[in-house]
Structure 1
Amino acid sequence: MTRTPIHDAEQSGAVPVDLGPLPEWDLSDLYPAPDAPQIAADLDRLQSACAAFAADYQGRLADLSPAGMLACIERWQEIDLIAGRIMSYAGLRYYQNTTDAGRAKMMGDLQARITEMTTPLVFFSLEFNRIPDEAYQATFTAPDGPARYKPVFDRMRAMRPHQLSDELEQFLHDNSVVGAAAWNRLFDETTAALTFDVDGEELGLEATLNLLTDHDRARREAGARALAAVFGQQVKLFARIHNTLAKEKAIEDKWRKMPTPQHGRHLSNHVEPEVVQALRDAVVAAYPRLSHRYYRLKARWLGLDKLQVWDRNAPLPQESPRLIGWDEARATVLDAYAGFAPELAQLAQPFFDKGWIDAAVKPGKAPGAFAHPTVTDAHPYVLLNYLGKPRDVMTLAHELGHGVHQRLAASQGELLASTPLTLAETASVFGEMLTFRALLAKATDPAQRKALLAGKVEDMINTVVRQIAFYDFECRLHAARAQGELTPDDINAIWMDIQHESLGDAFDYMPGYETFWAYIPHFIHSPFYVYAYAFGDGLVNALYAAYEAAPEGFPARYFDMLRAGGSQHHSTLLQPFGLNAADPAFWDKGLSMIEGMIDELEAMES
């Protein structure tokens, strides 16, 4: 899952100090080499499996016995595993260097071949959703049937009202490689190739974004102005990408009779629209108590009447600039994990020892950070762009949380391991919270405690306030696009309205900041994804409060929740903790934790 690279992503440019040996991926657990014969063999196996599956089951799904349906699903799952392994390998190689033509070609060619091979399988979900409800329930509750897979197929059947004809679904499947996937790739390759002139030094996107957290205000300003200059030059291209993807989505949504642009995301997340709306409304109502209040406080700390955009993630004046070597970062996170439960640290340890992390900043490397689950008969891989800042340590804790979650959920098998986005951020944000609390417990100096608290508040604002603001930006952009083509100025205006609402009156905005929507990948890759971060943060705040109130037995319940993967609805998974995300007051509990930290910071001023 991609860690949102809003303030802590780095990509190219030289690392200024020795951070120690930084690990690189060893992808040989997937395939030994890009020309390995095993890839060709798996492609042959995939083609045969797809053809045989279609020959055996097309037109016959409704007549299968419970045992026959179980066998069918297990064959479907095996196809997922083969295709997932091939594309994971090609994708991870590509993300290591998105500007390498050979890697890009390999990924594109394999994506096209696998799309073609799997075209005969388009019938499966369409025909499956035509099985009468009574027959479906009987098959999936029979003792010798596929009962354990029912959550997957309940989610599939939720798409029934939005299903198109077999012919149209096949067309969309075949066309996907030249539709959204092609525009996604154009976005990725464009952002990876951008360079920024910062006081005569040429930097990539992520290294330039990293300057926004520099101790030197002049360097922060130089970075912000360099970003604005390049985004301004490229804004027509980014506006074209957004216009095209939003219109493509609108056309498909119209055919599928989706009531809103967000509805498909809610269905895939297995979350009710009213739950998301309750989260959004609670956060927006809290803007004055959280971001507006905190940024006024930060302006006082920095001795400024108004903050500029390059001050938003600035370190505090009393915070000594310190870069954290890789060994220290590793020890910090593993110790924090072990303090919660030794098993958590043991699950994270192989990432460091076995080449499951790619940490160094390299030219062409994908920006930000993510944990890719690959396939359940392999293991996840974590990508970082580690530059030794305290936030980079938190990003390590975050991505390892994803990795541990993916390892635990793998026991569910390929179809059930994937966690809906609403819970996908739980382990990652919990890992950050454990690391933060461990560091805070060791902080005896008031200035150090203040810096830690302020850093955590800023991370939470970036995770909750910023992500809900981004969600509102997407909602407004898609609504505006429905009325016609959007000019860059139209999109800029939506962005700035959202910034004023969410950040408050503590800011002035430099000319050029209106284009800063352009580089955010979530709008391109996963429309309306971003609320999952706020969902995860609010959920983790509530979970952590439950842990502090009753630590006995909590780790065991926590591990059970992670092992469940996507096999249960979020309401069921939260029951053992006495939590209910459908209750509007649930979100206020999580937001009150952030408010309490700001209260403590304000009290330090008196």
Structure 2
Amino acid sequence: MEGRALPRDAREPGAGDNSLGQLPEWNLDDLYKGTADPRIAGDLDWLATECAAFARDYEGRLGELDAAEMLTAVQRYERIELVSGRVMSFAGLRYYQCTTDPERAKFLGDTQGKLTDMTTALVFTSLELNRIEEARIATLMAASPELARYKPVFDRIRAMKPYQLSDELEKFLHDQSVVGAAAWNRLFDETMAALTFDVEGETLSLEATLNLLTDRDRAKREAGAKALATVFQANLPLFARITNTLAKEKEIEDRWRKMPTPQTGRHLANQVEPEVVEALRDAVVAAYPKLSHRYYALKAKWMGLEKLQVWDRNAPLPRDDDRLIPWAEARETVLAAYAGFDPRMAEIAEPFFDKGWIDAPVKPGKAPGAFAHPTVTDVHPYVLLNYLGKQRDVMTLAHELGHGVHQVLAAGQGEMLSSTPLTLAETASVFGEMLTFRRLLDATADPAHRKLMLASKVEDMINTVVRQIAFYDFECKLHAARREGELTPDDINALWMSVQAESLGPVFEFMEGYETFWSYIPHFIHSPFYVYAYAFGDGLVNALYAVYEEGDPGFQEKYFEMLRAGGSKHHKELLAPFGLDASDPKFWDKGLGLIASMIDELEAMEG
């Protein structure tokens, strides 16, 4: 599920605030009409039969198939992915609506277990495809244009060829995944959802406590930060155990697969070359002084402080507009921004609001943060928010709807080709945010309000680029250190602090307890090294937006074509029509230059 890293989405409590208007909730009927829907049992029965039949028909002979037979096999496999994806989407989305409900957790766990058992029969597919000679694959593709359309799928599978294990070991890994990473992931999610924080006598959830870090009252921000540190510290042994176990499990599997680095698997999944990611990482780290260090020094000056504390990082700026934005206004703002770019974009986004495709209110047990889940290509995406009426929440809506638009457009590629690598999956979401921001900025005549808007956007971009690359560096250090042995909570804390001071800059002081804040970030648990995709997407969009502002002829059509491509093309091929190339180290400097230019403008306003 694509979504935003939790730390980017600081909000404040107010779920029951009627001034926000009627907030929409999901209607999952387009997947299934409840857990008793007979179609669930029917689909599971079909999957059990079809998985066994697929194995019976093809195991041991995939390399012998002609083009027509291979096409049939691929289409049958795609149908299995579609049906299993529908069942898991339903189970997963129900669970995320209330992660503390034992019945929902059981339904998800049981469904996951059944599907894992059924699909073990399919593990041979990628193993046998990887044993076919390259020349044979080329011959098959040349013989059938319909099959050739699936070449990117074959390329993705065959990228794993050097790291493939024996058939027996691959089946074992597939089978035990339910009690491995998936089980530890659930333990983390359920623990986080159940945490409570005592803030000045009031008991709050994680989301509500994190939201205090954006409160106008500095004393409340401090109280929130200290409450977080107290609870994280109390639970640190468990979070360290989860982190150690998952990192060790990954190290073992990577070692058996002979993967050269802990990041290799993520780069392969993202279809991005390691050197491209390193160029991005190096460019951002080199830019820390002219981005985050410079901006936070300005923020300290605005706040009248010599030093910033960690609870000041996401503080509202003096004279910031703390008006709560009703849901209807948020909807109108985003749809108008989308329509201003191209009416088709607003038309695709509109049904999300009217048909139960968005779950917006904050509710007990609901998953924190925000995401857009594409479900399957014959249904539609669902968007999860925790909407509390802040301007940042409107940007989050624009972001997640961007994902939704992308997923709707890419669905035409079919189940196997619609999914976009994480590095490109952030393109439409960040672009949607930028459209919304620029529309609001252009409508602002008051210099003081313009300054606040620019500063807010700079903060968001720093959270997206600087902070996520710092997270990536933390993970790199963590996984390297875990290869040397078990890490104590203090060891992990020290790694966290080593990237915080470097990325945030000398104006910050770090309270006692901040060293534990790594523990609540879900991406470290669910998707190791995912975080660089945010920085990749932001840099890519900044470069794209520059091309758009320059009046590139036919930009909108080229943009829609890029989104429609889904995962069917490599990033080089997708960016070429815009004259962009992410493998060029200077490419990243363009995006970082846009952030720096906004800080230049803010500094000029000081004069």
2:331 matched residue in structure 1: 330
Shift of 1:338: 0.5
| 1:516 alignment partner, SS class | helix
- 2:479 and 2:336 mapped to 1: Cα distance? 44
Please say if 1:470 is aligned against 2:497.
no
1:604 matched residue in structure 2: 605
1:246 matched residue in structure 2: 247
1:48 matched residue in structure 2: 49
1:207-253 per-position Cα deviation (integer Å, ceiling 9, x unaligned): 11111111111111111111111001011110001000000000000
Cα 1:144/1:551, change in 2 over 3 Å: closer
Q: Is the 8 A contact 1:67 1:145 kept in 2?
A: no
Q: Is the 8 A contact 1:11 1:367 kept in 2?
A: no
Please say if 1:557 is aligned against 2:558.
yes
| 1:260 alignment partner, SS class | coil
- 1:551 and 1:382 mapped to 2: Cα distance? 31
- 1:259 and 1:135 mapped to 2: Cα distance? 28
1:483 matched residue in structure 2: 484
1:27 matched residue in structure 2: 28
1:359 matched residue in structure 2: 360
Q: Which moved more, 1:197-206 or 1:539-548?
A: 197-206
Cα 1:397/1:567, change in 2 over 3 Å: same
| 1:371 alignment partner, SS class | strand
Q: Is the 8 A contact 1:10 1:361 kept in 2?
A: no
Shift of 1:145: 5.0
2:530 matched residue in structure 1: 529
1:438-493 per-position Cα deviation (integer Å, ceiling 9, x unaligned): 00001111111011000000000000000000000000000011111000000000
- 2:137 and 2:12 mapped to 1: Cα distance? 49
Cα 1:440/1:11, change in 2 over 3 Å: closer
Q: Is the 8 A contact 2:13 2:212 kept in 1?
A: no
| 1:458 alignment partner, SS class | helix
Please say if 1:137 is aligned against 2:163.
no
Cα 1:555/1:14, change in 2 over 3 Å: closer
1:155 matched residue in structure 2: 156
Q: Is the 8 A contact 1:398 1:428 kept in 2?
A: yes
Q: Which runs of 5+ in 1 are unaligned?
A: none
Q: Is the 8 A contact 1:7 1:210 kept in 2?
A: no
Aligned length: 606
1:73-97 per-position Cα deviation (integer Å, ceiling 9, x unaligned): 0000000001000000000000000
1:179 matched residue in structure 2: 180
- 2:504 and 2:131 mapped to 1: Cα distance? 48
Q: Which runs of 5+ in 2 are unaligned?
A: none
1:455 matched residue in structure 2: 456
Please say if 1:501 is aligned against 2:502.
yes
2:544 matched residue in structure 1: 543
Shift of 1:16: 4.3
Q: Is the 8 A contact 1:13 1:202 kept in 2?
A: no
1:68 matched residue in structure 2: 69
Shift of 1:4: 1.3
1:406-456 per-position Cα deviation (integer Å, ceiling 9, x unaligned): 000000000000001110000000000000000000111111101100000
Q: Is the 8 A contact 2:387 2:393 kept in 1?
A: yes
Shift of 1:143: 3.0
- 1:210 and 1:584 mapped to 2: Cα distance? 37
| 1:382 alignment partner, SS class | strand
**Counterpart code for 2:597:** G
Q: Percent identity?
A: 72
Q: CA RMSD in A?
A: 1.0
Shift of 1:329: 0.4
**Counterpart code for 1:83:** S
2:372 matched residue in structure 1: 371
User: TM-score, normalised on structure 2?
Assistant: 0.99
- 2:444 and 2:14 mapped to 1: Cα distance? 33
User: TM-score, normalised on structure 1?
Assistant: 0.99
1:492 matched residue in structure 2: 493
| 1:545 alignment partner, SS class | helix
**Counterpart code for 1:425:** E
Cα 1:108/1:494, change in 2 over 3 Å: same
**Counterpart code for 2:466:** V
| 2:372 alignment partner, SS class | strand
**Counterpart code for 2:303:** L
Q: How does 1:505-520 map to 2 (within 5 A)?
A: 505-520=506-521
- 2:14 and 2:345 mapped to 1: Cα distance? 34
**Counterpart code for 1:74:** Q
2:234 matched residue in structure 1: 233
Q: How does 1:34-113 map to 2 (within 5 A)?
A: 34-113=35-114
Q: Is the 8 A contact 1:11 1:368 kept in 2?
A: no
- 1:10 and 1:105 mapped to 2: Cα distance? 30
Shift of 1:12: 7.5
**Counterpart code for 1:428:** S
| 1:82 alignment partner, SS class | helix
**Counterpart code for 1:387:** L
- 1:12 and 1:100 mapped to 2: Cα distance? 22
- 2:11 and 2:604 mapped to 1: Cα distance? 34
1:48-102 per-position Cα deviation (integer Å, ceiling 9, x unaligned): 1101100111111111111111110000000000100000000000000000000
| 1:414 alignment partner, SS class | coil
1:194 matched residue in structure 2: 195
Shift of 1:319: 1.0
1:6-30 per-position Cα deviation (integer Å, ceiling 9, x unaligned): 0425598754453100000000000
Q: Is the 8 A contact 2:12 2:388 kept in 1?
A: no
- 1:348 and 1:541 mapped to 2: Cα distance? 22
Shift of 1:140: 1.8
Q: Is the 8 A contact 1:10 1:368 kept in 2?
A: no
- 2:17 and 2:244 mapped to 1: Cα distance? 39
Please say if 1:404 is aligned against 2:405.
yes
2:439 matched residue in structure 1: 438
- 2:75 and 2:347 mapped to 1: Cα distance? 31
**Counterpart code for 2:249:** E
